[in-house]
Amino acid sequence: MHGNIRIGKDERRAAIMEVAREEFLREGYAAASMSQIAAKVGGSKATLYAYFPSKRDLFFAVVDAESATLMDDLYRVDENGTDVRVTLAAFCRRFISLVLSDEVSAFDRIVIAESVRFPEIGQAAHQFGYKRGIDRMEALMRMGMDAGLLRRADPHTAAEYLLNLCSGHLHKLRQWNILSDVPPAQIEAQIALASAAFLALYGNDEMAAEARTFFG
């Protein structure tokens, strides 16, 4: 009667998580409803609870998956050439664009909001995202230092600071839901500013002097 095509368990699970992801990201944990999710999946609540024993479990599954994919995007370092400056700029571009995107924004909001009730979430974001990302970037920093483009310093701290510089003014405005769409020109400006600030702090004397012309 209802020509429902039977699909494999994994696919159904994926479909549930996809819908749940949208609901949780848009509504937050409390306001998202299991009945709503079941309805949008097209199945029934009974089936939903057959796959995930509780709302909490579904939420955690979604957050873990999203954490893995997003963080993998966020902290990717494309070593696309020999020039460390190019790699650095490419990283800033990717990172800043993503940080200001709807998806990362929404996810970040959820993590911050729910990390009080569910501390595991904040720890996951830190351990599997941020920390791992910085570890990856250490290699990039070392390359720059070995090439003489960056000052000799603790590469871990340097990586940490690059990320810090990338999350700027626009990020705050997005967190407060003031900017819904960020004009590309502003993103470009933010990228240039973050790169320049980083080079002014960690670049060799020559690069730092050049970068400092950005500030004044």
**Residues lying near a second copy in the complex (CB under 8 A):** 28, 30-31, 109, 111-113, 115-117, 119, 122-123, 125-126, 130, 150-153, 158, 160-161, 164, 167-169, 172-173, 175-178, 197, 200-202, 208, 212, 215-216
- Residue 116 interface partner, choices DNA, a second copy, none, CB cut-off 5-8 Å depending on type: a second copy
C-alpha 76/C-alpha 102 separation (Å) is 19
- Residue 101 interface partner, choices a second copy, DNA, none, CB cut-off 5-8 Å depending on type: none
- HSE-up (13 A, CA, CB side) for residue 132: 17
Both tokens of 54, joined, read: 């509780």
C-alpha 69/C-alpha 64 separation (Å) is 9
C-beta of 45 vs 156, nearer to a second copy: 156
Residue 6 as a binder of DNA (CB under 7 A): the answer is yes
CB of 2 to DNA, least distance (A): 6
Which of 14, 50, 112, 139 binds DNA (CB under 7 A)? It is 50
Q: By C-alpha distance, which of 91, 101, 173, 170 is closest to 134?
A: 91
Residue 49 as a binder of DNA (CB under 7 A): the answer is yes
C-beta of 26 vs 156, nearer to DNA: 26
Write out the DSSP string of 30-78: HH--HHHHHHHHTS-HHHHHHH-SSHHHHHHHHHHHHHHHHHHHHT---
Residue 54 as a binder of DNA (CB under 7 A): the answer is yes
C-alpha 213/C-alpha 39 separation (Å) is 57
